[in-house]
Chain A
Amino acid sequence: MSEVTVLSSARQRGTMPLRGRSYMAFALTPEPPIADWLGELDAWLRGSNGFFAGRPVVLDLSAVTLTSSAIAHLISELGTRGIRIMGLEGVAAEKLGPGLPPLVSGGRPAPVEAVNSRSQPASPPAAQDREPTSLLVESPVRSGQSIFFPDGDVTVLGSVGSGAEVVAGGSIHIYGALRGRAMAGTSGHRKARIFCTRLEAELLAIDGYYRTAEDLDAKLRSKPIQAWLAGETLIISEID
């Protein structure tokens, strides 16, 4: 995710003034080998169909070395997946031919949330059309599995095993033992909380502030807890 400064032009009284404007765009960063990266992207898109449709996307090529024809090919590959590239980043300007999107620079990381809220249409759609921003997992999360849901809350009915992880943009609710990792508020949502009915966690984190099992109060072990962020401190307390 990047904030990209885009110059916009508007005709005014016969002159051609140029104004700078800041927009939010998604940044895709391909990693070598490209074929594998496209495969991962496809797998992810299967779960989030049409995610990029109609959204501005910047292609960050800093992790790969591609010729200009390879860049054009990659852009057309993304095009077939419904992803339209508005600009390129992290590539030498001389590699960009006239057929390629322009180079952008000065991107800054931004929370996904901000992009989502800005890209929503001005008039909110009818309630039944809106996608609920929560994920319900009805089975235990086993060791080695990873639940990643940047768009909202995650609720797990069952335990999260040692070596498993749940990552949520919002809060995390676990009706069972939390033996693995829980990372809430990953897209900068500081008000996110973590709830579980039995704390055995390896790691708890909210917006990047974390505590490992070693730093957890032994008295809270096996207890139902909630965790939240107060300033820069991750607070964990028992729920009665």
Chain B
Amino acid sequence: MGKVIVVTSGKGGVGKTTSTAALGAALARTGQNVVVVDFDVGLRNLDLVMGAERRVVFDLINVVQGVAKLPQALIRDKRLETLYLLPASQTRDKDALTEEGIARVIGDLRSRFDWVICDSPAGIERGATLAMRFADEAVIIANPEVSSVRDSDRIIGLLDSKTEKAERGERMAKHLLIARFDPGRAARGEMLSVQDVLEILSIPLLGVIPESEEVLRASNLGAPITICGQQSAPAHAYMDAARRLAGEEIEMLIPTEKRGLFTKIFGRRAA
């Protein structure tokens, strides 16, 4: 049985879709079967970041409504044969998603894949709560600035109350991924430091992704950064984050001001 991960943040534009694609590709590179699921119905993007936008025939809503079978809607990545995409619908709205339908599709995906990674829409409305509803674990994406951190705090509260796991009285494992971290600006106090963010959110740190033009370049190329920019700093950070997600113990490296260099100023994993 696979593990269902929701990638969520509350705030938009912090890097959920980029991170979903990068983590999914990083896990798939280890030979495990991975599906990335776009829950952003009406504003789908994951297909673009995965470079699969011209191959979309059926989507999540078609599967939920029984119009298409799951294998018909799954798109296999051209570069990694263990990586699949289940796209969202761009023309429908999120009201077409039903909780029972999502439960069935997630259950089906769980039995076929090692990892089911759900890209949540921004906000705290129905789309976001449905994306997290059946997750086993959550990756919370935050940028080092106050509005993003507060929204993440809100989302953590929802993860602890509105998910099926929380309603069963179980505790959902949560991982913090700090994206778009600019060490120079953090050092000058223009951004929150990693420690500030950790202290406010008090959940374990999965990784820190440095702000980099490479990320934008990869998105525009239609490839996860962990496929097309493997040697870049953000790709390394995503690869490490994916290995931690899979349970490996890897020393945490926080990007510092010198570009491209990593130093061990923050060796511990935050509790």
Which positions in A face B, CB cutoff 8 Å?
139-145, 158-159, 161-164, 177, 179
Contact = CB atoms under 8 A, between A and B. Distances in A.
A142 B200 contact: no
B99 interface: no
A163 B200 CA distance: 12
From B124, B146, B157, name the one whose CB has the most chain A CB atoms within 10 angstroms.
B157
A158 B156 CA distance: 14
Contacts of A143: 150-151, 153-154, 157
Contacts of A164: 153, 157
A179 B154 contact: no
Contacts of A139: 160
Contacts of A177: 199-200
Contacts of A159: 200, 202
Contacts of B158: 144
B11 to A, nearest CB: 11
24 contacts: A140-B202, A141-B157, A142-B153, A142-B154, A142-B156, A143-B150, A143-B153, A144-B124, A144-B157, A145-B161, A158-B202, A159-B200, A161-B150, A161-B153, A161-B200, A162-B146, A162-B153, A162-B200, A163-B153, A163-B154, A164-B153, A164-B157, A177-B200, A179-B200
A158 B200 CA distance: 10
From B151, B154, B158, B199, name the one whose CB has the most chain A CB atoms within 10 angstroms.
B154
Nearest to A161: B153
Interface in B139-186: 146, 150-151, 153-154, 156-158, 160-161
Nearest to A158: B202
A107 B103 CA distance: 51
Interface string B88-104: 00000000000000000
Given A158-B202, A159-B200, A179-B200, A142 B160 contact: yes
| A contact face: mostly helix, strand, loop, or mixed | loop
Interface residues of B, number: 14
A144 B161 CA distance: 12
Nearest to B147: A162
Contacts of B151: 143
A228 to B, nearest CB: 27
A141 B160 CA distance: 11
A202 to B, nearest CB: 11
Interface string B112-149: 00000000000010000000000000000000001000
Contacts of A142: 153-154, 156-157, 160
Contacts of B160: 139, 142
B200 A144 contact: no
Contacts of A140: 202
Given A140-B202, A143-B150, A144-B124, 15 more contacts: A139-B160, A142-B153, A142-B160, A144-B157, A144-B158, A145-B161, A159-B202, A161-B150, A161-B200, A162-B153, A163-B150, A163-B153, A164-B153, A177-B199, A177-B200
Contacts of A141: 157
B174 to A, nearest CB: 11
A179 to B, nearest CB: 7
Given A142-B157, A145-B157, A162 B150 contact: yes
A177 B158 CA distance: 20
From A144, A177, A179, name the one whose CB has the most chain B CB atoms within 10 angstroms.
A144
Interface in B188-224: 199-200, 202
A171 to B, nearest CB: 24
Contacts of B153: 142-144, 161-164
Nearest to A140: B202
A158 B151 CA distance: 18
A158 B158 CA distance: 17
Contacts of B154: 142-144, 161, 163
A204 to B, nearest CB: 19
Contacts of B150: 143, 161-163
Contacts of A145: 157, 161
B250 to A, nearest CB: 26
A162 B154 CA distance: 9
A158 B203 CA distance: 12
A158 B201 CA distance: 10
Contacts of B124: 144
A20 to B, nearest CB: 48
Contacts of A144: 124, 153-154, 157-158
A142 B161 CA distance: 11
From A139, A142, A159, A162, name the one whose CB has the most chain B CB atoms within 10 angstroms.
A142
A143 B151 CA distance: 7
Contacts of B161: 145
